[in-house]
Amino acid sequence: MSDAGFVASVFDMDGLLVDSEPLWQVAEVEILGPLGVPIDPHACRQTKGMFVNEVTAYWHERFPWTSPSTDEVAVQVVDRVSELVVERGVLQPGVHDAIELCRRHGLDLAIASSSQYRLIDVVLEHFGLAGEFAFVHSAEEEPYGKPHPGVYLGAAAKLGADPTRCLAWEDAGAGVLAAKAARMVCVAVPEPAERSRPAFAIADAVLGSLVEVGDHLYDRLVACRDVPAAGSEGLIRPH
């Protein structure tokens, strides 16, 4: 039985559960570079949180190439990331702590990811997490990726949960915008280099890592449901 505050918890995947952002950077540089895109790991951050087809379209608009198509390039990128996840991927610290916290409070769990289902499946199977989530929802089912709220609303619908009673977990600014637009309480775990981005100012909690989760944090997040979205009274920062 869930408590009065939340009934479900919705997790992003890339960068939050698995340290995959460096893997995406490697794949994008390897595949987009030979097509004439002057891309490096820093430039990859410009599209963090986007659906992969939006990423390839973004770079094609700025540095057009003749072939293959942007959709075909997206397939190549996902294929390479899948290989890299198996070869060198690692879980982020505290993943099991966050999942256990939600389980302890009776929440149903789902994934809301900008990645394609085939990559989500690789990650969840490789790290033994497939049984932890009742549902998985990918932005490939939505007309728009994050920061549009569709992927979070879709995950809530699969769970049969009111979005306002869902707790979202994110690492990207675009994801925080998406979760808050879906009217969810949102925990952000940004990379240190991205903590100053404006989007994180609207998160209800900003943590250094998932290792910081605990019942005290959870109780304060429940209280955030009653704080107006434009207010800052419920904002939680790590000590």
Tell me which residues are annotated as active site: 12, 14
Q: In this structure, what token pair is assigned to residue 58?
A: 């973004």
Q: In this structure, what token pair is assigned to residue 164?
A: 């306002």
Distance CA 142, CA 61 (A): 21
Q: Residue 2: which of 235, 222, 227 has the closest Cα? A: 222
Sign of CA dihedral 236, 9, 97, 112: negative
| Cα radius of gyration rounded to whole Å, the chain | 17
**Four-point Cα dihedral 77, 54, 99, 137, nearest 10:** -100
Distance CA 101, CA 217 (A): 10
Q: In this structure, what token pair is assigned to residue 135?
A: 């549902």
